[in-house]
Amino acid sequence: MKRRHFCLGALSITTMLRSRGVEAVGKLSTITRFLSAAVLLAAFCLPALPNAAGATPPYDETVRTKLQPQLETLLIGLVRDGRSLTMDGIPVFNGKDKFLPGKIAISLVEFLLSLPPNDPRLSAYLKDFRQVAQLTVDDANDSWGAYYYILALDQLRKAGLLQEAVDRLTLAKLRVRLDWRMFVDPDDFALIDHPNNYYCVALGLARLRVQMGWEDGAGAQRIYDKIADHYRRYSGDAGFADETDGEGRFDRYSVLLSAELAHHFVETNDRPPPEVLVWLRKSADVMLSRLHEDGTGFEYGRSLGPYSETAIIEVLTVAATLDVLSESEKALAYAYASRAAQRYFAFWIDPKTGSVDLWNAGRRTDDYRGKFRVLGENLSLAHQYIYTSSLWNAMGFKDTTPIENFAAALRSLPRESVTWFARGHYDRMLLTRREGDHVIGLPLINGGHSQHMHSPYFPIPFARDMLSGVAGGTRPLLVPQFSLADGTALMPLAFIQDVKVTHQGRKTTVIYRQSELDRMGGEAPIADDRLSLVSTYVFETGRITRTDVYTPKAPLDIAGTRLDFASFSTLVKAERHGVRFGGGAVTEFKLSGLDSCEAKSIQADPDYESDLGPMATRIVCSGGPRKTDGPFTISWSLSYR
């Protein structure tokens, strides 16, 4: 195993700082950052602990021996069956996956370029690419699909294979169609019916068109200026990408975007502007705090599944490539990527079909990642693993066994961190706590247009395999829904103000207020000031408590109140205001302020299915009609092992 030559010094530094009583407890001072780095270095240098499952193989080995054969099998089927190809009973060319032609193109090119120059399969695959390009050139191929396709063409150009792989007529058609102007207005450079992250897709397209000799760099510069302005306007010095125009949707995409942005410069042989590196470092901090020993990933927001893991890989790989990470952080990031790649095949790939599975056995994903995209999901995930593995190889990690004492290295990470996304009239932030094997996130954000009503964006705690939202789900998970006598439904979701975080030992308290609740039923949040509240979260080891104090603006008729909790833990005993669990991470749930709770074991209930699989227990707490003219309190607590 390759190692860096810093082990003795790291151990000495760690010992010295600890002897002086300095501890890394998640504070962002210089000395604690220094200590955390030293502890990581020390963990990297400790003797490997016995590993019953065997050492995690090098990242590129998993890509080479597992992913590329899986990809080749898919591509052979594609070439053989053409438009009649089906996967897991789904016709692949169903017209619903608007990115598919580009994903096919980049997958074919990445596979054929992985072959040695004298490999007899190379000539055949070039002919296959020519055939598939002719087959799909007239198919819908929007935004991401266009980016993937032009990236494939540019890689063929660099390898001197473009003329052999694409005939002149097809290339002429592609030059017209692979254009950022499909979804960006060329006059004012406004996005056309796409969320903010698509500016980054447009930038990738524009920069690659320059590489292909199809246009000058003026368009790419204008697009970059739009991206930078959006960062500054809606996040300021915080340095994250609001997916909306200021509504406050900060999720996985918001953290990932800086890496995608930086990589568009890297893939076109350029270095990102300094401000992009600042944003990338902030994103890397968020992702480092989300590393799990088993390779699980990001915990809240839409479009999770295996993308919750590849997002972390992408951010940390690009950050490592640009030396935004320290050497110890690179070792940690590489170890995570290696484990996540193994997890991809152990958990996400169905051995019966050879396909990634986001849809079966109680797994639920967002509608736009429906099973109609089954081939495209396989290909885009393969691309993310392939390109990041190539970057690690270029950094000298090819055939490098990742650190085996990964758990010890993870314990050296800060136990808690607070990430501010935006501050102003409304505050947007993320609290992260590392506790044992759990990474608990509390996002105080706003899902904004189309997502505010969905539980993955609720202001509640999330943790992989313990606390989850439901993709596209609207059940009131861990927050009450008030049904008013006039038919209005209100929930405390979007309008978060004056967030304060305090620490006392290992107890953390988060307090915020909402002077308006979110009136449900519309695509966008609607502020309704008939109820206001002050919320208090208390995080302690093995326990989370939330207490809400609601105050009506005037006497208010509430027809009913409901609050749900869904758990992966199995039901043991249910009482009127509490539930005890058996197997699983959560051991107990208690609630006060409503009339009663009912708990039941569930199976095959899509309202309580996560991207990782189904919940085992559903709790519904309810309160009857009441006319309130003064403050009232609703509180819950959950305990976990």
C-alpha radius of gyration, the chain, whole number: 25
Alpha-carbon span 589 to 610, nearest angstrom:
19
- Say if CB 258 and CB 284 are below 8 A apart: no
Q: What gap in Å lies between CA 209 and CA 267, rounded to an integer?
A: 12
For 15-26, write each residue's pLDDT tens digit. Answer: 333 333 333 333
Residue 333 to residue 534: CA distance in whole angstroms: 39
CA distance 281 to 182: 32
Nearest alpha carbon to residue 457 among 477, 439, 440: 477
Q: What is the pLDDT of residue 3?
A: 38
Average pLDDT, the chain: 91
**How far apart are alpha carbons 183 and 203 in whole angstroms?**
12
Confidence band (pLDDT; 50, 70, 90) for 143?
Answer: very high
3-state secondary structure of 222: helix
CA 38 to chain centre: 28
User: Which fold would CATH assign to domain 416-640?
Assistant: Beta-galactosidase; Chain A, domain 5 (2.70.98)
Own/partner long-range contacts of 246-249 (Cβ < 8 Å, ≥24 apart): 247/446, 247/448, 247/449, 247/494, 247/524, 247/525, 248/421, 248/422, 248/426, 248/428, 248/445, 248/446, 248/448, 248/494, 249/445, 249/446, 249/447, 249/448, 249/451, 249/457
- CA dist 630 and 237 (Å) reads 40
Q: Which region among 26-35, 185-194, 282-291, 502-511 has the lowest average model confidence (pLDDT)?
A: 26-35
Q: Distance (Å, rounded) from C-alpha 112 to C-alpha 125?
A: 6
pLDDT of residue 195: 85
CA-nearest of 243, 238, 638, 234 to 442 is 638
Note whether 274 and 217 are within 8 A (CB): no
Model confidence at 42: pLDDT above 90: no
pLDDT, tens only, 96-123: 999 999 999 999 999 999 999 899 989 9
Count of residues for the chain?
A: 641
Q: How confident is the model at residue 404 (pLDDT cuts 50, 70, 90)?
A: confident
Please report the DSSP string for 17-82 in residue order: HHHTT---SS--SHHHHHHHHHHHHHHHHSPPPP-TT-PPPPHHHHIIIIIHHHHHHHHHHHHHHG
User: Of 136, 171, 135, 132, which Cα lies nearest the Cα of 150?
Assistant: 171
What is the pLDDT at residue 20?
33
Q: How far apart are alpha carbons 9 and 583 in whole angstroms?
A: 44
Summarised one tens digit per residue, pLDDT across range 222-236 is 999 999 999 999 999
pLDDT for the residue 516: 98
**Residue ranges per structural domain of the chain:** 7-45, 416-640
Q: Among the listed ranges 38-42, 298-302, 304-308, which one has the minimum average pLDDT value?
A: 38-42
pTM: 0.92
pLDDT band at 196 (very low <50, low <70, confident <90, very high): confident
